[in-house]
Amino acid sequence: MRFQTALRTLTATLILSTAASAQAAWKLDGDVSQMSFQTTKMAKSGASTVETDAFTSWRARVNDAGQLSVEIDLDSASTGIDIRDQRVSEKLFESGTYPLAVMTASLDMPILKVMEPGDTQQVDVEGQLTLHDNTQNLPMSLQVTRLRGDRWLVQTLTPVMVDAEQFALVDGIRALRDLAGLGNIATQVPVNVKAVMVQED
């Protein structure tokens, strides 16, 4: 009788532990995560330059249902030149009016939850990006690696292509072009992400 009681107690404990694990959520470890984007600029002479810039302030979270949410502070664009950072924030993103870019997507959590440390999965999702008061669907090809029990690495396999025309940013790009005395700045911007996600307590 005591054995059956102990067995029922153990079974209930295992069920509760499994349920708690299934309901886990993950948040971004910002200290080891990166979000970069490339800009292609053409001088009036025709010479082109590709530069890699970054956002230094952003957050990401995945809830227990697999809903991914990413928030990017648009005034945190870092190009390595202070005056250019200010112009990107004010002239391109108009961050005083539109402070955030928000990306959402749905991940297949049942597949990800059974991964063992060291396992890697390719995950193709359709994300929704809201930027400058415009929302567009963006396909994303991600590589998800389980590092250890409570940490996951999510990386873009191919850059996420953001088209400035779809987000009413072309006028801002032209303003930056004129201020810098350039011939052209490309409106297609590749974005790459390396995100380490940590299971919340």
Question: Which pLDDT does position 6 carry in this prediction?
Answer: 38
Q: Summarize pLDDT for 54-84 with one digit per residue, the tens.
A: 999 999 999 989 999 999 999 999 999 999 9
Residue 27: closest CA among 119, 154, 116, 118: 154
For the entire predicted model, the pTM comes to 0.85
Q: What is the mean pLDDT of residues 7-16?
A: 38
Question: In the chain, pLDDT over 70 holds for what percent of residues?
Answer: 88
Count CA atoms within 13 Å of residue 25 on its CB side: 11
pLDDT at 17 over 80: no
Among 87-96, 103-112, 134-143, 161-170, the minimum mean pLDDT is found in 103-112
Q: Summarize pLDDT for 95-121 with one digit per residue, the tens.
A: 999 999 999 999 988 888 889 999 999
Helix residue ranges per DSSP H, 80-185: 82-87, 109-113, 170-180
Question: Which pLDDT does position 18 carry in this prediction?
Answer: 40
Q: Which residue has the higher pLDDT, 70 or 6?
A: 70
| Under 8 Å between Cβ of 34 and 194 | yes
E strand map for 29-149: 34-42, 48-55, 58-62, 67-73, 77-78, 100-106, 120-131, 134-148
